[in-house]
Amino acid sequence: MKENILKPLRTFGRSKGKPLSTNQELLMQKEYPKIDISKSVEFAKNPLSNIEGEVWLEIGFGGAEHLLWQAKNNPDITIIGVEPFLNGIVKAVKGVVDQGLRNILLYRGDARQIINLLPDSSINRVFILFPDPWQKKRHNKRRLINEKLLSDLYRVIQKGGALRFGSDITDYVDWVLTKIKRHNGYEWHASERKDWMERPENWPKTRYLEKALREGRQGYFFDFIKF
């Protein structure tokens, strides 16, 4: 099946971004290796083996605002942040150091790679917040969320665990809801609650969402529960 082939996503075109300052270079040299699991042979061989308690996974954390907030507010939970974009990684590392956080691990690269490594039922919560929309119909196939990703996440999320998804693009929301319904393994109480237009308290705004709101777009917020 075509979707099974791990083709690089177009997003990686800008995965480098603007050059790092001297301080950022230093952070990347000294601090990043302490929390980086993307090059860890141990992690690849035996992922999560030395972690106790819940593990959450944030895919495409961008500027790391949400990742850092969750880590600070849930100190007993290990949160793995995945992001290909170097400038996002640097922001996360800086936040970890500035706030003295001890519960963040970082994976620089394509989320699909780390998901392939993760054991079955090993993750309690997954966050995919405001993924790149790829709005033109002919670009839809580049969207991160598709049938294959939903199946792979279904494998790694524990029963009763959640996939949290947000978007400001109604077409992407429709796209995801259709695929979630078709998958049939995630529960969403659409008819009972109209809460998908209200941001939950434990869902801090990111710079991306702030921009969307400034530009007059509404955010849509979902928790899909694996049953």
List, by residue number, the catalytic residues. Answer: 132
Binding region for ligand SAM (CB under 6 A) out of 32-40, 48-56, 184-192, 206-214: 206-214
Q: For the chain, give the longest Cα–Cα distance.
A: 53
26-34, 80-88, 93-101, 153-161 -> range binding ligand SAM (CB under 6 A): 80-88
**Residue 4 Cβ vs ligand SAM, minimum distance, rounded to whole Å:** 15
Residue from 86, 96, 105, 129 binding ligand SAM (CB under 6 A): 129
154 — alpha (psi -120 to 50), left (phi > 0) or beta? Answer: alpha
Pinpoint the alpha helices (H) of the chain. 22-30, 32-35, 41-45, 65-73, 86-99, 111-117, 147-156, 170-183, 207-214
Beta carbons within 8 Å of 84's beta carbon, 6+ residues apart: 9, 11, 12, 15, 108, 109, 110
Q: How many residues of this chain bind ligand SAM (CB under 6 A)?
A: 24
- Rounded Cα distance, 81 and 64, in Å: 8
In the complex with ligand SAM, which residue's Cβ is closer, 154 or 208? 208
Q: Which stretch binds ligand SAM (CB under 6 A): 49-57, 156-164, 192-200, 204-212?
A: 204-212
Distances (CA, A) of 105 to 29, 47, 138: 16, 12, 35
* 59 is a site residue for ligand SAM (CB under 6 A): yes
Nearer to ligand SAM, 13 or 100 (CB): 13
208 lines the binding site for ligand SAM (CB under 6 A): yes
Among 48, 51, 77, 144, binds ligand SAM (CB under 6 A): 144
Q: Does 213 bind ligand SAM (CB under 6 A)?
A: no
Cα-based distances in Å from 171 to 58, 143, 198 = 22, 12, 18
Among 47, 81, 95, 131, binds ligand SAM (CB under 6 A): 131
Q: Which stretch binds ligand SAM (CB under 6 A): 124-132, 172-180, 193-201, 215-223?
A: 124-132
Q: Which two tokens stand for residue 153?
A: 């996440």
Contact call for residues 144 and 153 (beta carbons, < 8 A) = no
* Chain residues in the site for ligand SAM (CB under 6 A): 9, 11, 59-63, 82-85, 88, 110-112, 129-132, 144, 206-209
